[in-house]
Chains A and B, each alone.
Chain A
Amino acid sequence: VTTESHFEEFVSSAAEAFGRDPGDGSLAGVGFDDLLDESLDDAYVRSAVFATFVAHGRRLGRSSALFRLIARPYVNAYGLDERRTVAGLALRHTGVTAQVAVPAYLGESDLLVDLGESAGVVVVEPADVEPVGAASLDPDLVQVVEVPVGKSRLASGAAEAAAARVLAHSAGCLAAAMELLGAGQAVMSLGVEHARSREQFGRPIAEFQAVRHLLAQASLNVQSIDHLCRATLRTMGSIDALPSDIAKAVAGRNARRAADSVCQVLGGTGFTWEHPFHGLQRRILVLDSLVIGSESVLAELARTVEGAGDPANLPSLPAQAEAAFASSRRSA
């Protein structure tokens, strides 16, 4: 039994939990915080953690999982209380205040915000958090708040902070990519189900090649995310790691493409509030813009071409085989 073969089981059990309760309650149910107490260098832990995000996407979870995951490396580096700290993702800041993307249900958590190398990391108490009333496209997942950043700054020059930043970014990108995968899979199910049941001209629209090819193209886009996420997960943290922002960018781009195809297949039905499609479409658009936007990653990738004309960051076959064939140290 390999760690890899557990992945789909992890997704299923987490999806079941989010199906019962899409919020933070389910995170406790799947032992998410306990998993985060362990190292992502452990393939089994990594597999369970990132499978949670696929399930979160499939079931449109409303939890703070992404923000907890991103906070964790800083929590460890600065010795903060992991149970009451979530990350906020800085959108823009002055020296005095910052606009920050935070979980929809912030509760009594402290907010940890990394403003970048020069401005450093701040921790904001719940009392100082001011909702700005901006219209989030996916208010179940994320809202924008304004926080003061003039005080309670943590030391930013330490090597620990730099390492935490790299880890948090890498984990955040892969988590968002995994959630985009899950949302993409859910979008596919809606499209396929509709094509089978909706009849026009006396037969299911799934029998029309134009419709079949739209759905197959969408499926290709989603399966591509799956392969890339797997490859990224396998070697994460090793010297042969694939930068997870590539997975994030491709996942955002491909999930949007898949959603567009399925939107067309769904016809007018997909444009109604009652139909679940728009929830997934909202999730996909928001995730594509969150952590890092696909546009900036794609432009940056061109600069990774090395002198010998080699694009950096290609998946290494020996490293991929090593991780894929490694037997699991534990049972599921």
Chain B
Amino acid sequence: MSVISAVWIPGQGAGSVADDLRDLDRRLDGWIDEHEAALDGLRDPDPDPLRQIEKSRQLQRALHEGGWAQCGWPEIVGGTGGSILHRAVVCERLTRRGFVTFGMFEHLEVLLPALIRFGAPDFVATAGPEFLSGRGSWAQGFSEPDAGSDLISLRTTARRVDGGFRIDGRKIWTSWAAHATRCLVLARTGNPEARHRSLTMLAVDLDDPRIEVLPIRQANGGAELAEVVFDGVVVGSDRVVGDVDGGWAVALEVLLHERGTFTWFRLCVLLGRMRRLLKAGLRERADPRALGELIADVVSARSAAVDALLDAARNEESLARASVCKLQLSQVEQGLYDLAVSTFGPDLTLGLLGGPLAELTQQEFQFSRIVTLYGGSTQMQLDAIARQVLGL
């Protein structure tokens, strides 16, 4: 049996980036072998959303204890260094080994890079390690009832008070708000006429009594979305992420990851679920032409995701290229569940597949219908490509 260090440190391998990544991959694989008994229950998602959330917390804690949750993150958030490529390798190995229950910790890849880049160092040094260790997690408070695709029209205000800001307003579709400890809130700090130049990003504790979280009962039975009401919530100046009136830059950084690099991580999860479905009979029962088309789309999307990761590792990200990733990812996610429904028919729709698989796949099918909405609707992504890539 191999000796496995408690904490993997990048750059301890033979030299090149690739050797380093392969070394990390091997060590994580070995660690999973060694801890099989403790980890096995954390593999599959649970159809009950609350039990699922608890499972994802347990998995995050186990990964942190093993030293894997810290890989690829900078020291300031309690990380052991390395880059997004290291995180990508960790995610791929975990999903290959059947762990697809990241739940709200998928959000790490959406929010944490922007927090690290723009947050006040002392605050980041507190909140970052909480998030990585599973002790805390984050909600993303961007959309409002009257500001969806037109995010810049948002009306939640943050007014200067002694030592900080007072937040009033209402957010909606706030992912994980009922279960998270903190929320990234985009609010208006100036004249609405100034459009994106009067927005500020704030980090807010969700246990504040002047915050009301109203969970939204989702069509798929899930519980990650909520409406959040802010009624005179006061936060200190250290909770400003980025510059006052400079919140749009932070929002763009979040979107860059949500649409771009996140594609790799989400694809890993989808591949994990696809393996589950293939083993459950999709491989034998699916029309080969349709399955082949899905695989070609997976390979395609993954190639775009590789380029997004390499761009991020070189600090050369682009929001327009991120849209290309996001659109391909949506196509794969919907394509996978379209194929599952058309292949399994009533075995899926009437719940006859073995174990929790039918229920999970039903939920995942329904969720796949909104992937063309969150993170910017497909129509917004097409607009972005027309404007930024084609110059129209």
Contact = CB atoms under 8 A, between A and B. Distances in A.
Interface of A: 188, 192, 195-196, 206, 209, 212-213, 215-217, 219-220, 223-224, 227-228, 230-232, 242, 246, 249-250, 253, 295, 297-305, 308-311, 313-315, 317-322, 324-325
A202 B249 CA distance: 36
A309 B283 contact: yes
Which 10 pairs across A and B sit closest by C-beta, in order of nearness? A322-B18, A301-B292, A298-B292, A309-B278, A231-B303, A302-B288, A309-B275, A216-B382, A216-B385, A212-B386
Contacts of A242: 299, 303
B300 A299 contact: no
A64 B92 CA distance: 42
Contact of A224 (B88, B279, B324, B392): B324
B271 to A, nearest CB: 8
Given A212-B386, A216-B390, A227 B303 contact: yes
Main secondary structure of the interface of B (DSSP, over half): helix
Nearest to A324: B310
B310 A320 contact: yes
A314 B270 CA distance: 13
A64 B286 CA distance: 40
27 contacts: A209-B383, A213-B386, A215-B392, A216-B385, A216-B390, A219-B386, A220-B324, A223-B304, A227-B304, A228-B300, A230-B303, A242-B303, A246-B296, A295-B289, A297-B296, A301-B292, A305-B295, A311-B298, A315-B303, A317-B88, A317-B92, A318-B89, A321-B18, A321-B310, A322-B16, A324-B310, A325-B17
Contacts of A313: 299
Contacts of B390: 188, 192, 215-216, 219
A188 B383 CA distance: 16
Contact of B379 (A213, A220, A223, A318): A213
B21 interface: yes
A314 B85 contact: no
B43 interface: no
Nearest to B290: A302
A304 B22 CA distance: 24
B392 A309 contact: no
Contacts of A227: 300, 303-304, 306-307, 324
Contacts of B19: 318
Interface string B1-31: 0000000000000001111011001000000
B296 A219 contact: no
Contacts of A224: 300-301, 303-304, 324, 328
A304 B264 CA distance: 22
A6 to B, nearest CB: 16
A213 B380 CA distance: 10
Contacts of A322: 16-18
A301 B296 contact: yes
Given A213-B386, A305-B291, A315 B306 contact: yes
Contacts of A220: 324, 327-328, 382, 385
A212 B299 contact: no
B391 interface: yes
B279 A195 contact: no
B304 to A, nearest CB: 4
Given A213-B379, A303-B288, A318 B21 contact: yes
Contacts of B25: 318
Interface string B76-94: 0000000001001100100
